[in-house]
Copies of this chain bind each other. A is one copy, B any other.
Amino acid sequence: MNAVPLFPRVALIGFGLIGGSIARGTRAQGLAGEIVATARSAATRARVKELGIVDRVVESNAEAVKDADLVILSIPVGACGPVAQEIAPYLKPGAIVSDVGSVKGAVVRDMAPHLPDNVHFIPAHPVAGTENSGPDSGFAELFTNRWCILTPPEGADPAAVERLGEFWSTLGANVEVMKPDHHDLVLAVTSHLPHLIAYTIVSTADELEDVTRSEVLKFSAGGFRDFTRIAASDPTMWRDVFLNNKDAVLEMLGEFQEDLSKLTRAIRRGDGDALFDHFTRTRAIRRGILDIGQDEAKADFGRTHAGLKKKQ
């Protein structure tokens, strides 16, 4: 525990997977003197109260940010602009205002114009998550060994950037600073394109005429089921990601389409050497990810296998 918490008061707006994980981690690490939380839906606010993992649950965003030294919006990207406008008059001078959105250019564009000059606006994106959402889905360890990207605007106060970085590193994350546009390009390939592809293939499989849904489900262990996890992610969050990172996503889609055409041609022509070469190169990427600890080396993601029933 910190003898003196990093922030006397932290306000959390939004209490899904990310907001709830920040709350739990902040409390576990003693990062805040007081954690105040709010959420748009009354049901979520009631559940957060029940969970008892924050100090106070309040009814409005304005109330939440009052006297807060750190304000974090953990809400869909498309809601960030309106909420910034709403809280602006109530922010404490000197407060740090941040978010967790998967897109940064649009968040800067939508939030910055509303915020007063006497607060520090430092957007952030913790690259971590699961397919679950809602107030019960979070956990304090979500961010350990994951990266949190900060995209401070030019001229941001280095001390404020440092303080927000310390907050995230105490939650277990590695901190990196990036320009918003570059963030959006990098995440378009490591996160947005994979989600788009997964969302696509899952519906393709579900709408076939000659293969039933029951068959798709039964034989999904052939690879398909891996895609269904990602395609079970929160629809509102992902709608907003694609609406707000359009250009970078379309650019990555173009690259993907070119590569898919190459592989399709190799299949059509029966070019086994081209296929073999391609499949050998991709193996190295997996090894790279395991080497830097961004996934576990356990086979099949460490999925457990039921024991064999002994034959009588």
Say whether B221 contacts A128, CB under 8 Å: yes
Q: Which residue of B lies closest to A235 (CB)?
A: B279
B129, B172, B222: the one contacting A309 at CB < 8 Å is B172
Q: Which residue of B lies closest to A312 (CB)?
A: B2
Say whether B222 contacts A190, CB under 8 Å: yes
Residues of B within 8 A of A267 (CB): 196, 242-243, 246, 249-250
Residues of B within 8 A of A235 (CB): 275-276, 279-280, 283
Say whether B303 contacts A260, CB under 8 Å: no
Say whether A215 contacts B242, CB under 8 Å: no
Say whether B186 contacts A211, CB under 8 Å: yes
In the assembled complex, A197 has its CB within 8 A of some CB on chain B: yes
Q: A141-B308, A185-B211, A213-B288 are in contact. Are A194 and B218 (CB under 8 A)?
A: no
B193, B270, B311: the one contacting A201 at CB < 8 Å is B193
Say whether B170 contacts A311, CB under 8 Å: yes
Q: A140-B308, A300-B131 are in contact. Are A275 and B191 (CB under 8 A)?
A: no
Residues of B within 8 A of A145 (CB): 306
Residues of B within 8 A of A50 (CB): none
B207, B283, B301: the one contacting A301 at CB < 8 Å is B301
8 Å CB contacts to B: which residues of A276-293?
276, 278-283, 285-289, 292
Q: How far is the CA of A296 from the CA of B172 in the complex (A)?
A: 26
In the assembled complex, A45 has its CB within 8 A of some CB on chain B: no
Q: How far is the CA of A205 from the CA of B130 in the complex (A)?
A: 22
A243 to chain B, nearest CB (A): 5
Q: A172-B309, A239-B272 are in contact. Are A226 and B194 (CB under 8 A)?
A: yes
A38 to chain B, nearest CB (A): 24
Chain A contact surface mostly:
helix
In the assembled complex, A120 has its CB within 8 A of some CB on chain B: no
B139, B205, B281: the one contacting A189 at CB < 8 Å is B205
Taking the full assembly, how many copies of this chain does it contain? Answer: 2
Q: How large is the interface on A (under 10, 10 to 19, 20 to 34, 35 or more residues)?
A: 35 or more
In the assembled complex, A177 has its CB within 8 A of some CB on chain B: no
In the assembled complex, A114 has its CB within 8 A of some CB on chain B: no
In the assembled complex, A225 has its CB within 8 A of some CB on chain B: yes
Interface-centre pick from A31, A182, A199, A282 (highest chain B CB count, 10 A): A282
22 A-B Cβ contacts within 8 A? Answer: A1-B311, A78-B272, A127-B219, A130-B300, A131-B286, A131-B299, A144-B306, A144-B308, A186-B211, A187-B219, A187-B222, A191-B222, A194-B224, A199-B282, A203-B278, A221-B295, A223-B230, A238-B275, A242-B266, A250-B267, A301-B302, A302-B303
- Chain A to chain B: the 6 pairs with minimum beta-carbon distance, closest first: A191-B222, A235-B279, A232-B286, A194-B223, A130-B299, A141-B305
Besides A144-B305, A190-B223, 12 other A-B contacts (C-beta < 8 A): A149-B219, A186-B219, A190-B216, A196-B263, A199-B282, A202-B285, A202-B286, A206-B282, A217-B292, A232-B287, A235-B280, A246-B268
